[in-house]
Structure 1
Amino acid sequence: MSEVLTERSARVVAARKLTRRSGRDAAGAFLAEGRQSVVEALAVAEPGLVREVFATEAAAAAHRELLSGTRVPVRLVTDRAAASLSETVTPQGLVAVCALADVPAAALVQRPPSLAVALAELADPGNAGTVLRTADACGAGAVVFGAGSADPYNGKAVRSSAGSLFHVDVVRSAPLPELLPALRSAGVTVLAADGQGEVSLADAGPAGLLTGPVLWLFGNEARGLDPELGALADHRVRVPMRGRAESLNLAAAAAICLYATQSAQV
Structure 2
Amino acid sequence: MPAVLTNPRAERVKDIRALGRRSARERSGRFVVDGPQGVREALRFAPQTVTELYAEEGSRHTELLDLARDADIPVFRCDAAVMAALVDTQHPQGIAAVCRPVDVSLDRALADLGGFVVVLANVRDPGNAGTVIRGADAAGAKAVILSAASVDLYNPKVVRSTAGSLWHLPIAVGAEIEQIVAACQAAGRRVLAADGAGTTLLPDADLSNPHAWLMGNEAWGLEQVTRDLCDDVVRVPIHGHAESLNLAMAATVCVYASAAAATRVERA
Q: TM-score, normalised by structure 2?
A: 0.92
Amino acid at match of 1:200: L
Residues 69 and 240 of structure 1, relative CA distance in 2, 3 Å threshold: closer
1:13 Cα deviation after fit: 2.0
Give the Cα separation in 2 of the matches to 1:108 and 1:16. Answer: 30
Question: Structure 1: which 5+ residue stretches go unaligned?
Answer: none
Equivalent residues of 1:113, 1:140 under 8 A apart: no
Q: Which residue of 1 aligns with 2:186?
A: 185
SS in 2 for 1:103: coil
Aligned-residue identity in percent: 46
| 2:213 corresponds to 1:213 | no
Any residues of structure 2 matched to 1:1-266 within 5 Å, and which? 2-5=2-5, 6-44=7-45, 46=46, 48-59=48-59, 62-70=60-68, 71-204=72-205, 209-266=206-263
Equivalent residues of 2:109, 2:170 under 8 A apart: no
SS in 1 for 2:48: coil
Give the Cα separation in 2 of the matches to 1:108 and 1:160. Answer: 21
Equivalent residues of 1:7, 1:78 under 8 A apart: no
Give the Cα separation in 2 of the matches to 1:176 and 1:186. Answer: 15
Equivalent residues of 2:109, 2:172 under 8 A apart: no
Give the Cα separation in 2 of the matches to 1:256 and 1:41. Answer: 27
SS in 1 for 2:158: helix
SS in 2 for 1:233: coil
1:110 Cα deviation after fit: 4.5
SS in 2 for 1:116: strand
Equivalent residues of 1:19, 1:85 under 8 A apart: no
Q: TM-score, normalised by structure 1?
A: 0.93
Between stretches 100-109 and 151-160, larger displacement belongs to 100-109
SS in 1 for 2:53: strand
Equivalent residues of 2:109, 2:171 under 8 A apart: no
1:58 Cα deviation after fit: 2.4
Deviations 1:28-54 (A, max 9, x none): 11111101111111001x452111101
